[in-house]
Chains A and B, each alone.
Chain A
């Protein structure tokens, strides 16, 4: 167990690296071996850079989360496109502070990335104590409603996925 841990500290990362290599270079025996060597060496070499990545506790919830985010990206893209092309005087941008319930750095990073990927909002900063996320919104009518929506749509599923 300890030997296996020493060679493969992050088995899922190694698997993802190997699969990425195979997708990039084609499924042949030679690339399978080369990919496997890289999948072992790269995590070992970059180990100091990896924080304690939490385990995924709820896989179906993660898949559901991905679907919700993709759907939101499409819908929100259209609404942002309309705002960008319409009269600019009617948009009201604003900085909104989002109190964080997530405690894990990795989960917070995922939430911040999700907020940035969904159009209309960009995560701008995290407070040093990791309790607040600063979000810039392109057009915000009701800051409290925006916070509630982000918390309910993205933060709660992430909390359930990582149980943190």
Chain B
């Protein structure tokens, strides 16, 4: 009665295993192609030149600092808006809102997550920048601030939905224990529920950072695209230029294999590494959705 393994079964198992490992293959492929197109830059541009404060590729100024700073400023601005807004909204949805309100709010926020960023960039360009220019009496509405405001909208859905999930998985018994000790629901939220969901909230914020720093079209369209070093507080309302926007704006116009082309790939490597750090640290907060494991056991 010994029947050896049936052939088609083992073929399919092999195929499934292969697709399973495809994610690893792609990460390496991406890294390899960024390296192969970006590494030649080290033979063409002295390394210290990247630390110049001037980005002007036509005259071979390849200072990356203004671009790095631009990305940083726009991202920080977006977080200052999106983190409190997103977190408080998540708390409202998870802890205060009635089930019906919840059913309206959650899909709405998720809808925003599905918005093509080019549409938001378009509105920022046509509407928001005009308003900001008039209200703040600026020479141009295309600034870091405009970028931050719209990037906040792009980071918001991730922050809200992951924080909300994290709050949702705090066991009911924690809250009951706090309420039984005489705390109000308001106190329970801040003293019990939110601290218990801390790791999930941190994950949410890290992923929000990832979204904001990696976003391309919005910053390309609304930040004015001037690579400049920071100049005090005015930095936020001045035009700026991010790493992502630089790649998007200039890659179409460079000759394949030129120094400028290699530099743009080098910026891609920098972005890849930043994304890697942000995402690995987000995942080390090891926020596992409990709901999922509960479902397995049911």
B and A form one assembly: no
Binding site for B on A (CB under 8 A): none
